[in-house]
Amino acid sequence: MKRLALAMAAAAAMMAATPALAHTSVRETNIAENATLARAPANFTIVFSGATGLASVNLTDAAGRPVALNYTPLHQMASSFAIPLPTLTPGAYTLSWRTIARDGHAMPGAVHFTISG
């Protein structure tokens, strides 16, 4: 009886942990959070811990105004993405994204950075 209770508790713990393990996390980006750069790189690259879908990507300036990106997310799962960046004038920017996990769960993310010029 004690073994059955322990087995049931272990199974419940594993089932509770499964959703957290199903989502990917950001492994690396080529622009660090709060970085100050002399100029923007040609691409913003992001690497995830596993395959995910990139649903949207947005770039805004310090006033929250959108900055046009020449990028449309592909409708496929991948573990890394390269988003072309336009020439950016000096100022603060936020590049935000939303990923969709295989189970349909949306996960937002963002990097804030400054171009010093």
Provide the residue count of the chain: 117
* Chain segment 70-102, per-residue pLDDT in tens: 999 888 899 999 999 999 999 999 999 999 988
In-domain check, residue 86: yes
In whole angstroms, what is the distance from residue 35 CA to residue 105 CA?
A: 29
In-domain check, residue 49: yes
Task: Note down the domain range covering 84.
Answer: 24-115
What is the predicted pLDDT for the residue at 10? 42
In-domain check, residue 1: no
pTM over 0.85: no
* Chain segment 27-54, per-residue pLDDT in tens: 999 999 999 999 999 999 999 999 999 9
Helix (H, G, I), strand (E, B) or coil at 18: helix
Q: Into how many domains does the chain fold?
A: 1
Helix (H, G, I), strand (E, B) or coil at 20: helix
CATH no. for residue 58? Answer: 2.60.40.1220
In-domain check, residue 52: yes
Beta-carbon contacts of residue 48 (< 8 Å; ≥ 6 apart): 24, 25, 26, 27, 79, 80, 99
What is the predicted pLDDT for the residue at 22? 54
In-domain check, residue 5: no
In-domain check, residue 2: no
In-domain check, residue 3: no
